[in-house]
Amino acid sequence: MEKLKTISGSEIRLLVGGRSNVFLVSNNQIKILVDTGPAFSGKLLLKKLKQQSIISIDYLLLTHTHFDHAANAQELKDKFGLKVIAHED
């Protein structure tokens, strides 16, 4: 699993790759999930989060709401109580 660190100390982790990538961006204060992937990758995403001991996520940032980027949004919102950020269109 790829993990990058920014100059300011934030981490960017690739959780699920493929047709649609899912990233977790975090620092000492917040965790932001970027996209959720297609429906068929939902179980894999939850498995990756569990493997990395991620028990809380603050925000879900959807780059756009196509099925391959946002299909698991409701499940993750229900599980983590996160806030969803998306463009109004």
The pLDDT value recorded for residue 18 is: 84
Token pair listed for 55: 């028990």
59-61/83-85 β-pairing = parallel
**Tokens 């925000």, located at residue:** 59
Q: Residues near 2 by Cβ (< 8 Å), separated by ≥ 6?
A: 13, 14
The pLDDT value recorded for residue 1 is: 57
The pLDDT value recorded for residue 2 is: 76
Q: Are 15 and 42 in contact (CB under 8 A)?
A: no
| Mean pLDDT to the nearest integer, 52-64 | 95
Q: Which of 37, 36, 48 is nearest to 84 (CA)?
A: 36
Band the pLDDT of 19: cuts 50, 70, 90.
Answer: confident
Band the pLDDT of 89: cuts 50, 70, 90.
Answer: confident
β-partners of residue 4 are 12
